[in-house]
Each structure stands twice: as C-alpha cells, then as structure tokens.
Chain A
C-alpha cells in the first residue's frame, strides 16, 4: 500500500503530496519529491548494504549531495525568488483548458479581476485570471518545434535554423519585457506587476502564433491571414482587458488626486501600444514559415 502510494506520487507530481513549507503559500510544494524510501527494508537490494563500508560511504555521499543542493538553492534564491516562480507553475489541467479557450475567444468572459486571498494573489489553479508561466513555456517550445516542422515541409530545414528561430523568439520576449519595464518605471506607474507577470503576458502570444502557423500550413495563405487576424484580435482584447485592471486602475492607491491628470493618458498609451505590438510580432515571427 505504501509502495502504491509512492508510485501514484511519481506519476502525478501535481497531487497534494507533501505539506506546505511554511509562509503564505497557497499551493503545496511538491518540488522536493517523494520522501526517500527506507532502504534497509527492501530485501531485493539488501545485499548491497550488508557491507558496512559501502553503506557508510553511501550515507556520506548522500549527505554531501544534500549540502551541495542546499548551497545551490541558496545561491539561486539570491537572484530569483524560487517561491515566486513556483506560484506561476501551480496549474492544473482544468485551468490550462480554460485559459487556452480564453486566449482564443476572450469576448464572452465577464470577470477579469484577479482574485486575492488575504493579500496574496490566488494561484492559477484557483483563479482563471491569474497569469501563469506554464502555458507560455509550453507554447514557446511547441512554436519552435512547429517552426522546425514547417521548414522541414518546405525542405528548408537545417539544425542551425532551429536554434536561430529559438533565440530570435527569446530575444524578442526579452526586448518586449525590458521595454515594458522601462516604460512602467519612467511613468511611475505603481502596479503590482512583477517581471514574471510581464514575461507571462508576453508569452501568451505564442499560443496565437501556433494557431496561425498551423492554419497557414493546413489551409495555405488564406488560412494564414484569417488565423492571423483572428488571433491578433483575440490577443489584443485579452491583453487590454487583463492589463486594464492592473495598470489603469492602480491610481486608486495614490492618495493625491492632483497629479493624476496626465497619467491616465500615458497608461492608456502603454496598454494600447503593448496590444498593438502583438500582431506585428506575430506576423514577423511566423511569416517566413508560411510562404
């Protein structure tokens, strides 16, 4: 019964297996994996541990490995908050389905507010409006594979092209996030949009790109432009509605109402500029794949 439970945990890492590691975490931290099995109780590999020297060496080695892991975690935590990153990957199937549907058809969704739970935003598992990084990552990788396939169909494939495509797309994401951060800083817009949120919102366009490339491959040039128009409109609507809550309504946090006369214009410009940038970059990154 114990072994069956371990097997279940190994195949469904997102199941609630281990208790939360303290702090206001709303999701279960399953990253440390299942607890190690008691080695001495398994008679199949018991012969290895009959030798005390071998078992002592293995204990020493495992303690060294644990120390190394702690050091690496501490160093990484200095640059990037791993807990904040884990928040973005706490998703489940239902959320992914609803979010994909929302990205491609956002016109009927009513409530765009990100719900909070005692000051911390709800994880994507509980709130469809929360940004996540799972969909952008998967969409990015799928886009690269699809680009390779599209070039292979047209007999223009070579392995360097794949790497070039991947790094081009990555560089465009970095440029977009940096420009957004710069403009948000310069206009002193006080939002709670972190860097990872911006990466998430700029990664959602890859879902539209995948759809566009697929339609271009299946239905030719007309299908490509139709899918481009559809996904551009859907994505622009999605971005404007999502960021409207975060950027435009944040001046309710300012106590002075005097200096906000010029600011709503700039915030509007930022949101619409970001939205208008999406179709351009979708066209730019997919046009060469669908001749």
Chain B
C-alpha cells in the first residue's frame, strides 16, 4: 500500500466533502443527529455524540467556502490533466 502525497490530499478533500454534504434538516435531524439535540446540560462532560455533532457542524461552517475554491481547482486540474 504505497501512498503518495497526492493520494493524501485526495483523501483529505474527499473526506471533507463527505462531511460537508450532510444536510442539516433533510438528513441529520431525521436520524436524530441534528444540531439542536446536542445542546444538553452544561456539565463539563459533553459525551462522544455531542462532540461528534459539534465537529460535524463546525466542519460544515468553516470549510464551506474554502471547499468551493478547492473543488473548483480540482475540477479544472482534472479536466486539464486527466
């Protein structure tokens, strides 16, 4: 299993895209992973599920605009260089 750096970049872009396309109200609320369900008590032990939901929501918020740029660059490069 030989990894090149290009494979790493591809994997990172694919993973981030996968997290970014999880729609909030069409999908996550249906399976009980919506944002409003993670605000539990105010103890300092949020639990794994709350942390995961937080992570998904923050990745979506932060990476939305850079992903547009990176995906456009990827599309152009793949069209030009195969």
Instruction: Please tell me if the beta carbons of A186 and B52 are within 8 angstroms of each other in the complex.
Output: yes
- B43 contact set on A, CB distance < 8 A: 256, 259
A252 to chain B, nearest CB (A): 14
Cβ-based interface call for A188 (8 A): yes
Q: Report the bound CA distance from A165 to B2 in whole Å.
A: 7
B43 to chain A, nearest CB (A): 6
Interface band, chain A: 10 to 19
Instruction: Please tell me if the beta carbons of A259 and B2 are within 8 angstroms of each other in the complex.
Output: no
How many A-B pairs fall under 8 Å by CB?
A: 40
Cβ-based interface call for A168 (8 A): yes
Chain B residues with a Cβ under 8 A of chain A: 1-5, 7-8, 43-46, 48, 51-52, 55
- A164 contact set on B, CB distance < 8 A: 2, 4
- B8 contact set on A, CB distance < 8 A: 167, 171, 174
Is the contact region of chain A dominated by helix, strand, or loop, or is it mixed? helix
Q: Report the bound CA distance from A259 to B50 in whole Å.
A: 15
Q: Known contacts A185-B51, A185-B55, A186-B52: does B3 contact A167 (CB below 8 Å)?
A: yes
Instruction: Please tell me if the beta carbons of A188 and B3 are within 8 angstroms of each other in the complex.
Output: no
Complex A-B: 28 CB contacts under 8 Å: A164-B2, A164-B4, A165-B2, A167-B5, A168-B2, A168-B3, A168-B4, A171-B3, A171-B5, A171-B7, A172-B3, A174-B8, A185-B55, A186-B48, A186-B52, A186-B55, A188-B44, A188-B45, A188-B51, A254-B44, A256-B43, A256-B44, A256-B45, A259-B43, A259-B44, A259-B45, A263-B45, A284-B1
Q: List residues of A (154-180) whose CB comes within 8 Å of B's CBs.
A: 164-165, 167-168, 170-172, 174
